[in-house]
Amino acid sequence: MVIVLFLLFIFYDKAKNETVYIRNNIFLQMQNHSLGLDDERFTTNTLLKKGDKKFYTLYEDKNTLYILAPISKESGKQEMMMVITPAGTITVPYSSKDTKMLKVSYLKSEYNQLISQMYYRLLFQFLLAVFGALIVSLLAAWYTLTPLRSSLRLLEDFIKDIIHDLNTPLSAILLNLKMIETKNEEIESIRTATQTIEMLHHNLDSYLKEQTQIEEVFSVDEIVNRYVAFFTPLYDYLSWNVELKKCLLTTDKQAFERIVYNLLSNACKYNTNDGKIEIALYGTILSIRNSSYGVKNPHKVFERFYKESERGLGIGLHIVDKLCLTLQIEKKFILEGTDVIVELDCKNIIA
């Protein structure tokens, strides 16, 4: 865009200079015609001297460009007049007793045609320059971004390797926790932390690759209640109000779980110290409302890596957006004062 504006400025200035050049060239040719050099493009009329218009100055009216000149062919003229023109100073025979003068005219339609031809030529040059600048910019961008793309590809492969390597020990921890029958605060704390890591693992896995959908029939309230039970001890200072009825869906259960997990995680992390979370199911719409300190840019909340604070990675709601599109769930983000409401319309996946 900057290059286009720069080129536009250059060609605008060039068009002004070309216009001045055309006018000066016409003026000089009209001046030569008045001094005796014939030119069929110009018409000459004899006028009575009147008014205060100067000789050898370019004027224009509705239909013509014209100059006024003394009648230099008359004999007996003893005086000389110096006239300053764009080509320099000239001297012409002149008599203060003259009562007549010449008017050398040039049709304005022909002048406008010259200007139009000049504009078309400059427009073609401008478009050619813009096209050339675009090609050069694309080549420069490709050359500059190639190392960055390679680095991002290496980073993505590195993250994929880490996720793959985490899968085995994480599965072992979960399996061993299921085998432990003892229930105490330490074991429950380990179990909660492991489940959090497991969901982060699923989020990163979902973020990096497209997964095949496996359709299952399951109950919405079962999943929501499970994650409410998971988050309630972690955020015991929040008040929870859950009103759910039976509703069966047929879609990818694991993907829907990640949607619910990320929405509840966001509702908890960005809540107030004495905040609330209200979850309700109205027909086919799952509504999650939470108090907050306000949202500065609600239109950006589902963008990748967008954060309104230092907390989090900025990919949770982006994954929600991505999974909603995949599962054909219509979502709405609503602000009522400082309350945040996310509505999921599941009408397309009702069992």
Over pLDDT 70: what percentage of the chain?
81
Please report which confidence band the pLDDT of residue 212 belongs to, taking 50, 70 and 90 as the band edges.
low
Query: Quick one: tokens of 141?
Result: 């961008």
Q: Taking the alpha carbons of 182, 183, 186, 189 in that order, is the dihedral positive or negative? A: positive
Q: Which residue has the higher pLDDT, 8 or 35?
A: 8
Q: What is the pLDDT of residues 124-164, one digit of tens each?
A: 988 888 888 888 888 888 888 888 888 877 777 766 666 66
Q: Which residue has the higher pLDDT, 129 or 169?
A: 129
Q: Taking the alpha carbons of 117, 120, 125, 128 in that order, is the dihedral positive or negative? A: negative
The whole-angstrom separation of Cα 270 and Cα 295 is 10
pLDDT of residue 88: 64
Q: Which residue has the higher pLDDT, 122 or 55?
A: 122
**Where along the chain do its domains lie?**
2-126, 213-349
pLDDT over 90 at 277, yes or no: yes
Cα–Cα distances in Å, from 118 out to 58, 63, 125?
Answer: 20, 20, 11
Amino acid identity, position 107: L
Please report which confidence band the pLDDT of residue 76 belongs to, taking 50, 70 and 90 as the band edges.
low
pLDDT of residue 242: 92
What pTM, to 2 d.p., does this model score? 0.52
Architecture of domain 213-349 in CATH?
2-Layer Sandwich (3.30)
Q: Alpha-carbon Rg of the chain, whole angstroms?
A: 41
Q: What is the pLDDT of residues 20-61, one digit of tens each?
A: 899 888 888 888 888 777 888 898 888 887 777 888 888 888
